[in-house]
Structure formats: C-alpha cells, structure tokens
Amino acid sequence: MNEKLNIQSLVELLVARNSINKKDADVLVKEFFRLIEESLEKDKYVKIKGLGTFKLIDVDSRESVNINTGERFEIQEHTKVSFVPEASLREAINRPFSHFETVVLEEETETGDSLADIISDEEEQKDDGTAQESAAKTVDTDEIDDVSSMEIVSDSAISENSEQQQHCDELMIKEEQRAVEMDNVEEDVEPETNDANIRVEKDSANERTDYTDIEEHTDNSELLEEVDAETSDTSLPPSRKNKFVSMRYFISIAILIILLSAVAVIHMCFPNLFSNKAEILDKSSSTKVENVTNQVVSIDSVALGDTISGINKNDYTETEASKKGIAKQKTNSKDANTTKGATDNTNSNTANVASIKSSQKSAAFEPDSVNYNIVGTKTTYTISEGETLTRIALRFYGTKALWPYLVKHNPLIIKNPDRVPCGTTINIPILQKKDSVYR
Amino acid sequence: MSNKEFTAELSRRLGLTMKDTSEMVAFLVSNMAQELQEGNVVAIQSFGTFEVKKKAERITVNPTTKLRMLVPPKLVLNFKPSTALKDKFK
C-alpha cells in the first residue's frame, strides 16, 4: 500500500515468488520494457496478455489559449502513448468496487442535495484531484486500503449512496439535511465506507438489544476517529464524515425507540409472562378485554372474584355472575386496550389468557363436535364482555375445541355462534367421550 | 504486434524457449498486477508509471434515452509514459 516499486523491486519479486535467479530476472524485466518500447515504435501497437495494450495515437494540431496571457497558440500535432488495461486486470483492480452498477436516476424530489449541488461537489472534487495529485495519491491509496479491507461494507455504502439520490427515505432526508448544513461537501470513498461500515453494523444491530446498539455506535465512532487520524494530513475535510456520523446517531436512536416501544407493548399485553400457572388458571375467567364494547361491567368485582376463586376451573359460577360477554372473537382481543379501568388484574388476566393460549398453542385446535356425547347440563354460565365460546369451552373443558357442544346444547339461546351478546346465559353441557368416560 | 510475436521476439533476445519466456512474462505481469491491486505504484525508469486511480461517481445523461444515470465510483489502472518515452515519439 502506497509503495513505489521500480525495476529492482520487480526483479526481487520474481526471485522471491517465482524462483527465478536474480540475473535472469534482471535481464528479463529490463528487456521486457525495452522490447515494448521498440515494438511500439515499430508497429505502433503492442498487446500483452494479462496486462493490456500499448498504442501510439496521433493527435492533430489544435488551437488553444495560453491561460495566463490569454493569447492564442497552437498545440502541435504529436503522438501520444496510450495504455488500455486488459479486461481481467481492470476487473481485478476494481474488485473493491465490483458490486456497484450504474443505475438510472429518478427525478430528485427531496430537499437536500440538489443536482446542482451534487454536480458542483463533483467538480469541486475534480479540481481538488487535479490540483493536488500527490496528496490525492496518498488519499487514494489510503482509501484503497480502507476500501479493500471493507469490501462488503463499501457495497452497501454505495448502494446506500445511490439510494440517497434516488429514494425518498426519511433517513435519507435527515442525511441530506445534514449534508446541506455542512459547507464542505466532499465526495470520498472513505466517508462512504465509514458510512457503510457504520450502516452495516447498524443493520445487524437492529436485531440486537439496545445496549449493544449503543456499544456498537461507540465502536463506530471510534473506528471513524481512527480512520480520521489516518487521513488527517490529507486535504479531506472531515465534514462529510461528521455528517454521516450524526446521521448514524439519529438512526440508532430511532431504532432504540422502536425497540423500546415494542417491549413496552409486549409488556402491556403480557405483563405476567413469567407468572406461575396457578394465577393463570383462575385469572383466565376475567379474560378479555375491557374495551371493544361499551358494556363494561364491574371489572373490579370480577377481578376480585377471580383472585378469590380457587384454581379449579369449574368454580366459575361464582365469579362470572357479574360478567357480561360479547361477540365471539377468535383471536387477539387479548391485545385489549387497557383504556377502560385497566387494572393490573385485568392486565394480568389478559396476559394470563395469553400465556394459557401460548401454553396450549401446541395443542391442535380443531373444532370438535363428534367425539363426545352430551349427557346433561353441568351448570349455567352468563357470558361476560369480551368472552367467546372458545374461551368458555376452554374454561369448562380445558380445550377450545369443544365449543360446538355449547352451541349444540343451547340451540335456542345461541342462534349465531359468532355473535353471542354479553349477558346471555347458556347451559354448559356435561360431555362424555364416546369411547370413554369424560368429566 | 500481438502477444505471440512479442513473446517470440523476447525469447529470441533472451535466448530462451517460447514456453519459458511466456511463462516468465506471465509471472512478471501477475506480480505487477498483484502489486497494483494492493494499491502500490509501479514506476519503470524511462518507460512510465503504472498507477491505480480512483474515479468518483458521477451523474451522466444518456444522450439517446435522456435518462439520468448514476455511474458508481471505480478504481482504474492508469499508465503515465515518462518524458523520455514521450519525447521519443513526439
């Protein structure tokens, strides 16, 4: 990296890598280039496999203006030496950037870098490049070093970069706004790769905990600082890097917030994810959700009743007297908004229901109505708000699958199993398994 | 002068077989390529320098379709003939 090799070094390489003796190697290298020169003179065209093609190109004279004096003068016709690298070599050298493709740009609708800004930035960079070639050399080689060490990263960097200019992402808006804020915009591989580096790490961080996000972020900034130090002597302003860094902060913070809110939502729904089964069983009666309908009864008394009632599922008659139920809903009324008098109990109840459900998830839930006989009425039950036939079946029989028997046993009361109004009193049948005694 | 002719002439000058010279040339060229890939500069006295330069990405317009395209940045190999060589052919 950054080394300047000459004939001697090429000779040494031949000796070391290819076990050619020094004298032969020396003669070879010198004669090689001499021959190119002579063949070029003779044929004006030399093609070397693995390297490329040397050509002599004749240039006609043209008029030009002396920059300082402004007077016109003529550039003489002359012959220039041109070299075009071979395709395989081109590809090999461009390997750090190999995944990039030229893409069609859509119309810029974003605030931020306008086309004019981008073009002026590029021109600015070109001027920098021509003006400070030697500095650029070191910069380039630095960049190449970084680039080569962050291959995968640079891909996302550039794709991210082109995304910026193509899509209207919220994140991109932020970045471009930062870009606008900064005065010195310099397009550079390094900030891009740093950017990409941070982005890649960030992408992976999405799946980790908040803590690691922060950790990585500090790592990123450290990495940035290292890279900054490397190129501090060059003419590159760090403004662009800063831009990207601060944008990274925004993104990481946004991700943090999203994660935290997700955790909060989950805890709202399942606050007692780790509670024991005893609670689960007796709280299941008060399940479901406060809201959805306006007919909320005294949940507090219900909850109280729940806590008092025993673990035994069958002791429902006491607790359910005050409840009212609603339409049958198969699934997540658990996610109940805890807006209406959301007591901890009800919360825990819904959570418990959820945990019950989750514990019974493995059990297949196929509505069952053929394996059992109805042999009598066990008891009656008043449906409270938010209750469904499946839940009631679950409570009485330990499985949701037997709800059709409830319907079967109450043909006059339950006209539509999907719509059983709360407050309906239904008979709970005693079910006997057809091939065995069930209770 | 094609590759074959070049190798033939080189083998004649070195007094080696075609096979050997082509092999040696291949070694030389691959060494150069390897160094260039690592970002080093190869400068041959009185011939020229081989260098890897980075080209920035740019926005171009396809003249036929009028579509604005974003050309990605790339690394290119650049040869700069030395003044001696340039003068020779002037």
Is there a contact between A48 and B3 if contact means CB atoms under 8 Å apart?
A: yes
- Alpha carbon distance A186, B54 (integer Å): 14
Chain B residue at shortest CA distance from A25: B24
pLDDT at residue number A117: 56
Smallest Cα distance from B15 to chain A, Å = 11
Query: What pLDDT is stored for residue A137 in this prediction?
Result: 47
Q: Which two tokens stand for residue A240?
A: 């662009």
The whole-number average pLDDT for the span A348-367 is: 52
Work out the percent of chain A whose per-residue pLDDT is above 70. Answer: 46
Q: Do A49 and B74 touch (CB under 8 A)?
A: no
CA distance A294 to A288: 14
Give pTM, 2 decimals.
0.41
Q: Residue B75 and residue A80: Cβ atoms within 8 Å?
A: no
Q: Check B9 against A39: CB less than 8 A apart.
A: yes
Out of B69, B76, B90, name the one closest to residue A102 (CB).
Answer: B69
Interface ipTM: 0.91
A192 Cβ neighbours under 8 A, 6+ residues apart: A154, A157, A158, A161
CA A279, distance to chain mean position in Å, is 38
**Which carries the bigger pLDDT value, residue B46 or residue A376?**
B46
Best residue in A81, A138, A160 to probe B by mutation, most B CBs within 10 Å? A81
Interchain proximity B77–A119, CB inside 8 Å: no
Are B27 and A47 in contact (CB < 8 Å)? Answer: no
Q: Which one has a higher pLDDT value, A183 or A12?
A: A12
Cα dist from A369 to A159, A284, A383, A429, whole Å:
58, 24, 21, 13
Residue of higher predicted confidence among A124 and A403: A403
Tokens at A74, concatenated: 């003529």
Instruction: Please give the Cα distance from A179 to A195 (Å, whole number).
Output: 13
* Element of type H or E holding A172: helix A170-181
How far is the C-alpha of A56 from the C-alpha of B58, rounded, in Å? 29
| Sequence-separated (6 or more) residues with CB below 8 Å from residue B51 | A137, B36, B41, B42, B77, B78, B79, B80
How close, in Å, is residue A141 to chain B by CA atoms? 6
Distance (Å, whole) CA B29 – CA B23: 10
Give pLDDT tens digits for A153-162. Answer: 444 444 445 4
Distance in angstroms (rounded) separating the CA atoms of residues A158 and A155:
5
- How far is Cα A301 from Cα A314, in angstroms, rounded to an integer? 19
Q: Round to whole Å and give the CA distance between A96 and A169.
A: 27
Q: Quick: pLDDT tens for B5-22.
A: 999 999 999 898 999 999
> What is the predicted pLDDT for the residue at A114?
53
Residue type (1 letter), A316 = Y
